[in-house]
Structure 1
Amino acid sequence: MNSGGGLRRELGLVEVTLTGVGIILGAGIYALLGEAAGLAGNAVWAAFGLSAVMASCTGLAYAELASMFPRASAEYAYVSEGFGGRAGFVIGWLILLSGVLSAATVALGFGGYIGEAIRFPALPTAVLLITGLSALSVRGIRETALSAIAMTMIEVGGIVAIVLIGLPHLGEVDYLEVPLGLPGVFQGAALVFFAYMGFEEMVKLAEETKNPEQTIPRAVLLALGIVVVLYMLVTLSAVSVMGWEGLAGSQAPFAEIAGAALGPNAFAALTIVALFATANTTLLLIVAASRLAYGMAAAGSFPAVLATIHQRFGTPWIAVAGVGAVAAAFTLAGEIAFVANLTNFALFLTFVLINATVIVLRVRRPDAPRPFRVPLAVGPVPVVPVLGILFSLFLLAQLETRVYLLGLLLAGAGVVLSYRWRARG
């Protein structure tokens, strides 16, 4: 059932790039910097740089596959091409589940900020946020993208403010001071890799993007590049102002830096920026998860009703409503145990298969059209995806045993479901 025709192609390079910047920035940098500084010391910039290298390897793999298969179903379509429909279904299932859980968790974070500010309960706030953002997502992809871009500009503004505050203090600390040595930098890199996640969500906009074979790969690389520059600048500024000891003991380092330099009004302003960051991330996760559900339904791997397009707005409204309803239901748990690490389990496992898919298709289908091609290869084997696999396995090794057990249980559920809905594509 695909009433109303296909999705509307209304997004250009600027919209997709800025949407990507918004979902990558998310709320991660605002929460992770303090803990990362405790591990990597004043060399926290190096931890972010190392993570950027790891993220870029998989980002390049996504860019090549998106240029070959510009579909909303993204990972499901890519892995299906490389390893068959059943493997694609399991990966699509895990990514969809992680997206819904992440949306619920970030919405609860938004509710927590509101609760601290005006003493309103976090749970109803989270549900109201998800409901409102789902309605916006149904209204149209262009309206959604413009709203996300506006919130992204506010997020970027918060980071730029910290950079400007830190400029007069550059050179006041030893940027190579590492309390835990190189192991601390590596542990910090594994932690802050999470702050780069989101580039994988951009490819799900392929069916709503003009000239997606060219636009999506360029947008992925541009978004990653912009975020890397912002992260490196803000980490250098932050340690210049507070030093790693001050950052490590802070639960809200950006707000504290602003408050110390400019007073309590600046502290409040950075708190408001964090609200926009969490709202923006929730919106973009709802969009990405609904497009994945739509794409898998259109391919015959989910109930066909999820592929229904709204005749007026040109959006997959039933998929959006379903994702929003499930995310709102998950918020009822209040705190979802292990949700962040479960999301990471799904993503790291997916990244292994995404990079492997690039390698397999290079060997099996060397002459297939590739508008974007990952550089560097030894014979038919591209080097960068091999590094992407190794980095992803390294990150998987950082997770707890309990996460593996529950993650494998969820993956097993995906295997069972794959026998119920077989891919036709």
Structure 2
Amino acid sequence: ASAGARDDGAGRGAPRRPRWSDPGTALSRSLGVPAIFAIAAAAIGSSLYFSLGVVAANALDLTPFAYLAAGAFFVVTVMTYVEGSSLHPERGGAATFARYAFDELWSFVAGWAILLDYLIVIAIGALAISHYLAAFWPELGRPGTEVLVAAVALVIVVRANVRGLSATRLRGVLRLQLVNGVLLLAVIVVGALVAGAPRATAAPAVASMPLWTDFVFAAIVASVAMTGIEAASGLAGEVRPRARELRRVVMVVAATALVLFLGVSIVALAVTGSGAALGGGYLEAPVLGIVAGFEPPALAQGFGYAVGAFAAIILFVGINTGMLGLSRLVYSLATNRQIPLAVGRLHERFGTPSVAIAGAGAIALVLVGTTDLEFLAGLFAFGAMLAFAIAHISVIRMRFREPEARRAYRVPLSVGVGGAQVPLPAVVGAVTAIAGWIGVIALSEGARIAGIAWMAAGVALYVVYRRRQGRTLRMRETVEPEELQEDGSIAYGSILVPVFGRALDDDIVGTAGRLASEEGEPGEAGPMIEALFVFEIPMALPLDAEVPEERLAAARRALARAKEVGEEYHGVEVATATTRARSAGTAIVEEARRRGVEAIVVAAEEPTRIRGGALLGGRPGARQRFVGEITREVIERSPCRVIVTAPPAEEPGPTET
């Protein structure tokens, strides 16, 4: 047995307790604050591509002022969410704030309203994709075809989110948002040059002034980007940024929103001549309408292709991150017994709320089928204003309930009231959100009917579920995460175990043997451990190059030892094999897929004296990234469950020299 292993009475070291791979844990420190910015920026970027047309159709030549109002509300709402998330860093966003400020019923109301917004944003984003791709083939924007393209996008998004979003994918989201920002800035600059500065800053004509009711509706719809704040706040429990980092997030996100909102809307009016023109033929693809007015035509065509392609990508990323936020919210609601556990049930292999994700995709497809952007935008505004009002009021109330609690970030500009510091921006945000919600109810009949029906159905579901469970409506009731696992035991009929001739091999094989031995039944074929040794061939040599004899001997010893340890477990058979590859991680994943195994057992890195390497000495402690490159690649690309065995992080004693 390897050093530090405990003997289990059978002459072998007891296997370490396995660590289950979880895509969420990979986000905690490997990406950090950029993860928050990536998700918020994804919402900002994608919202401009589909909301500008609806806003311009209602606000007309006052479109920039509608976005200015939305941008100001965006800033105060970011502040509120950052303070709330720093005080209670849990999944759930507004629902979590309401839980600590009020009770479970108000928490559910906020969460259910945000759930509606996620569904609407996913549906609108999916609907808009085909209209931007029409820059390459106009038929893609036709009725019927747009629904088909949206359905394909939703299927891909559902599949990707069921499999789980890794830190690597979020890095890709961040890079895409940076490129998208550059593209939108290019549209702003070129548009200003094409239109000319005087025209870009000209005052709106009286004939193009909207009704005040239409302007209010447009300003509310322009706030669609704020769903990104809700999704990003769900990472608070994993990222846990410092106060300075949080202040930087607030400033960068707020500045990004204001610059893009105002810049694109001003240039849109300057190039197209009026908001009515933009909200007409280009309602579903407004940014294409902007670049179509560029001169000369070759410039317009080039920008059209660039915007069409990149907008489709950004919209796809936007609905993907929206689904990420939705799945995390549903998981939070389920673990707090606010919705039936079956809705939040986790996938057996991937550990994601697959039922909720698939259901959300189906509902979004139904919403896409309406093809009515005005209705969908109004329904979004209904849920958003209600949830944001609860979020602002909750943060204000927590200033009274938890005045001394540590907050990594505090909303500035507070005044003393009743022994507590009341944040004025949150007060402004709460009043604005309440007024906006009342405005939507008064101005949009479709949103009023559908929104109230959605909330009434949700509250009825909550009350019936809680009563049937014999639980109160207002007290917090949580469940253990294990209760959300798929029913039935996990089968490990075949397990792939990569071995490398190291001391930890015994621990890995022992873990696999223990899991496999639990599956054996009398009269059935025994469970199988498939021990694999990978010969990594350097790029300087052909893949079929001769392997040195000493490496072959090492492989034979490692596989023989794996067979010896594994077959000590009752009913377990061990098969051995070798393979050649450029990358061990890639080879392990490909072999797992080819063999159709139920699980892969791999090892974490051995503990070091400091976080980052033992050669320099220093204080003990586990590394923040406890897995090596091979293990990380297996976790992120594996077609099956991955079990990571970790060596003990023991305090190293003094050594003699």
Shorter-chain TM-score category?
A: 0.7 to 0.9
Q: 1:158 aligns with which of 160, 177, 183?
A: 183
Distance 1:88 1:241 in 2: 45
Confirm or deny that 1:254 pairs with 2:291.
no
The structure whose Rg is larger is 2
Distance 1:34 1:86 in 2: 34
- Which stretch shows the higher mean deviation, 238-247 or 47-56? 238-247
Cα 1:54/1:212, change in 2 over 3 Å: same
Q: Going by fraction, where is strand more abundant, 1 or 2?
A: 2
Cα 1:115/1:53, change in 2 over 3 Å: closer
TM-score normalised to structure 2 length:
0.57
- Which stretch shows the higher mean deviation, 364-373 or 312-321? 312-321
Cα 1:78/1:375, change in 2 over 3 Å: same
Query: What displacement does 1:354 show?
Result: 0.9
Query: What displacement does 1:368 show?
Result: 1.6
Distance 2:57 2:148 in 1: 34
Query: What displacement does 1:269 show?
Result: 2.5
Query: What displacement does 1:65 show?
Result: 0.5
Which residue of structure 1 aligns with residue 129 of structure 2?
110
Distance 1:34 1:145 in 2: 29
Distance 2:43 2:347 in 1: 25
Confirm or deny that 1:404 pairs with 2:448.
yes
> Is the 8 Å Cα contact of residues 72 and 207 (structure 1) preserved in structure 2?
yes
Q: 1:203 aligns with which of 209, 214, 233?
A: 233
> Is the 8 Å Cα contact of residues 32 and 195 (structure 1) preserved in structure 2?
no
Q: 1:341 aligns with which of 375, 378, 393?
A: 378
Distance 2:258 2:191 in 1: 18
Distance 1:336 1:49 in 2: 22
SS at match of 1:175: coil
SS at match of 2:122: helix
Confirm or deny that 1:281 pairs with 2:314.
no
Confirm or deny that 1:175 pairs with 2:202.
yes
Distance 2:177 2:453 in 1: 36
Query: What displacement does 1:248 show?
Result: 6.1
Distance 1:36 1:282 in 2: 22
Q: Which amino acid aligns with 1:255?
A: L
SS at match of 1:79: helix
Q: Going by fraction, where is helix more abundant, 1 or 2?
A: 1
Query: What displacement does 1:198 show?
Result: 2.8
> Is the 8 Å Cα contact of residues 105 and 336 (structure 1) preserved in structure 2?
yes
Structure 1 residues not aligned, in runs of 5+:
none
- Which stretch shows the higher mean deviation, 321-330 or 177-186? 177-186
> Is the 8 Å Cα contact of residues 77 and 426 (structure 2) preserved in structure 1?
yes
SS at match of 1:406: helix
SS at match of 2:439: coil
SS at match of 2:425: helix
- Which stretch shows the higher mean deviation, 97-106 or 344-353? 97-106
Confirm or deny that 1:386 pairs with 2:427.
yes
Distance 1:398 1:309 in 2: 39
Cα 1:263/1:200, change in 2 over 3 Å: same
SS at match of 1:140: coil
Cα 1:40/1:202, change in 2 over 3 Å: same
Distance 2:289 2:362 in 1: 36
- Which stretch shows the higher mean deviation, 182-191 or 251-260? 182-191
Confirm or deny that 1:353 pairs with 2:390.
yes
Confirm or deny that 1:64 pairs with 2:83.
yes
SS at match of 2:406: coil
Distance 1:282 1:367 in 2: 39
Which residue of structure 2 aligns with residue 414 of structure 1?
458
SS at match of 2:274: helix
SS at match of 1:171: helix
Cα 1:8/1:321, change in 2 over 3 Å: farther
Superposition pairs of residues 170-249 of structure 1, within 5 angstroms: 170-177=197-204, 179=206, 180=209, 183=212, 188-211=218-241, 218-244=248-274, 247=278
Which residue of structure 2 aligns with residue 126 of structure 1?
150
Q: Which amino acid aligns with 2:223?
A: F
SS at match of 1:371: coil
Confirm or deny that 1:45 pairs with 2:56.
no
> Is the 8 Å Cα contact of residues 58 and 210 (structure 2) preserved in structure 1?
no
Distance 1:415 1:177 in 2: 45
Q: 2:407 aligns with which of 361, 370, 373?
A: 370
Q: Which amino acid aligns with 1:396?
A: W
Query: What displacement does 1:68 show?
Result: 1.0
Structure 1 residue ranges (4+ consecutive) displaced by more than 6 angstroms after TM superposition: none
Distance 1:213 1:406 in 2: 41
Query: What displacement does 1:215 show?
Result: 5.6
SS at match of 1:397: helix
TM-score normalised to structure 1 length:
0.85
Query: What displacement does 1:241 show?
Result: 3.8
Q: Which amino acid aligns with 2:204?
A: E
Q: Provide the alpha-carbon RMSD of the alignment.
A: 3.4
SS at match of 1:378: strand
Distance 2:21 2:345 in 1: 9
Distance 1:197 1:218 in 2: 20
Query: What displacement does 1:182 show?
Result: 10
Q: Which amino acid aligns with 2:453?
A: L
Cα 1:49/1:100, change in 2 over 3 Å: closer
Q: 1:145 aligns with which of 170, 175, 178?
A: 170
Cα 1:58/1:27, change in 2 over 3 Å: closer
> Is the 8 Å Cα contact of residues 12 and 215 (structure 1) preserved in structure 2?
no
SS at match of 2:25: coil
Cα 1:118/1:143, change in 2 over 3 Å: farther
Query: What displacement does 1:20 show?
Result: 0.9
Structure 2 residues not aligned, in runs of 5+:
1-18, 467-472, 479-657
Cα 1:195/1:75, change in 2 over 3 Å: closer
Query: What displacement does 1:197 show?
Result: 4.7
* Alignment coverage as a number of residue pairs: 422
